[in-house]
Amino acid sequence: MHYIKLNDGHEIPVLGFGTYKAKEEEGIVAVQEALQAGYRLLDTAAKYENEEHVGKGIQKSGIPREEVIITTKLWRENLGYEETKMAFEKSLKKLAVDYIDLYLIHWPANAKNYANWQQANADAWRVMEDLQAQGKIKSIGVSNFWPEHLEALLQTTRVVPAINQIEFHPGYWQPEVVSFCRSHGIAIQSWSPLARGKVFGNPVLESIALKHGKTVSQVCLRWVLQHDAIVIPKSTTLARIQENLLIFDFNLSEQDMHAIDSLPEMGFSGELPNEWPDRV
């Protein structure tokens, strides 16, 4: 597994395992299989209602907890000082661990749904900074933050976010957000790297995959890595869990990268950070 160093000095794998919609027994087994296949970075969230299953999958895998980088997220309705503290404790309990490796604000409070959205994000962040100082969280970051949300947050932060996890896949990869984050030392993590399956059947991706003797999924994941971003595909199918690991033995050319970068919009979730959801 390849690792990258975050702005806080911690190292995390460039390839991780997504768990959205992987719940109950299916989720437990998928996490167990992913760890046994070689993944060491897991991505869950309080909102996914599967932290318990992810925790059980880790225990069942037999991989020592300290070898696993666990990401979980604070849901937008729990922003605020006391709420963040409580939500964090709940996540720890559900995952059955005593620290979190990477804790993210899942969605920014925004002007559409919080009277003082800047304060709501800043209050949550202050708690996360304190928890990090106490050793309960190793790295802190955000998700779905646009430059406007980051600029506001950076006014009051002691710690610059280590990561911004954003929608990033062929057909929707937010280059402006990426370059803003780069210029502030914030690593990019790509969610829905396969656009939840909507990348399949695209002729450009298929021809690049054919040329390299790889699958469309592997090409999409490799493309994310070559953008120096971290990638967290989800699958509950063992063969695909394994397939998605095999992305370190080939290189996309500059032309391949450009062809994928230039694909027209495809598979966008429709979830805009400054508008969605429109109420708390």
Ligand X SMILES: NC(=O)c1ccc[n+]([C@@H]2O[C@H](COP(=O)([O-])OP(=O)(O)OC[C@H]3O[C@@H](n4cnc5c(N)ncnc54)[C@H](OP(=O)(O)O)[C@@H]3O)[C@@H](O)[C@H]2O)c1
Q: Which residues bind ligand X (CB under 6 A)?
A: 18-20, 43, 106, 143-144, 165, 191-197, 215, 217, 232-237, 240, 243-244
Least Å from the CB of residue 41 to ligand X: 10
Q: Which is nearer to ligand X, 132 or 244 (CB)?
A: 244
Q: Which is nearer to ligand X, 70 or 133 (CB)?
A: 70
Q: Which amino acid is at 149?
A: H
Q: Look at the block and give the residue holding tokens 């994310």.
A: 224
Least Å from the CB of residue 20 to ligand X: 3
Q: Which is nearer to ligand X, 9 or 76 (CB)?
A: 76
Q: Is 43 helix (H, G, I), strand (E, B) or coil?
A: strand
Per-residue CA distances from 244 to 45, 48, 219, 231, 254 (Å) = 21, 22, 10, 10, 22
Q: Which is nearer to ligand X, 139 or 217 (CB)?
A: 217
Q: Which is nearer to ligand X, 29 or 133 (CB)?
A: 29
Q: Put residue 135 in one of left, alpha, beta given phi > 0 → left and psi -120 to 50 → alpha.
A: left
Q: Which of 3, 39, 48, 103 is catalytic?
A: 48
- Per the annotation, the verdict on 48 as an active-site residue is yes
Least Å from the CB of residue 215 to ligand X: 6
Q: What is the largest CA-CA distance in the chain?
A: 54
Residues with Cβ within 8 Å of 162's Cβ and at least 6 positions away in sequence, in order, are 6, 7, 8, 10, 102, 139, 140, 141, 186, 187
Q: Look at the block and give the residue holding tokens 């933050």.
A: 145
Q: Which residue is nearest to ligand X (CB)?
A: 18
Residues with Cβ within 8 Å of 19's Cβ and at least 6 positions away in sequence, in order, are 27, 30, 31, 42, 43, 44, 48, 50, 53, 54, 234
Least Å from the CB of residue 208 to ligand X: 15
Least Å from the CB of residue 233 to ligand X: 4
Q: Which is nearer to ligand X, 72 or 254 (CB)?
A: 72
Q: Report the distance separating Cα 114 and Cα 109, nearest Å.
A: 6
- Nearest one of 104, 113, 69 to 278, comparing CA atoms: 113
What beta strand segments (E) does 113-269 contain? 137-143, 163-167, 187-191, 230-231
Least Å from the CB of residue 143 to ligand X: 4
Structure tokens belonging to residue 20: 């959205």
Residues noted as catalytic: 48
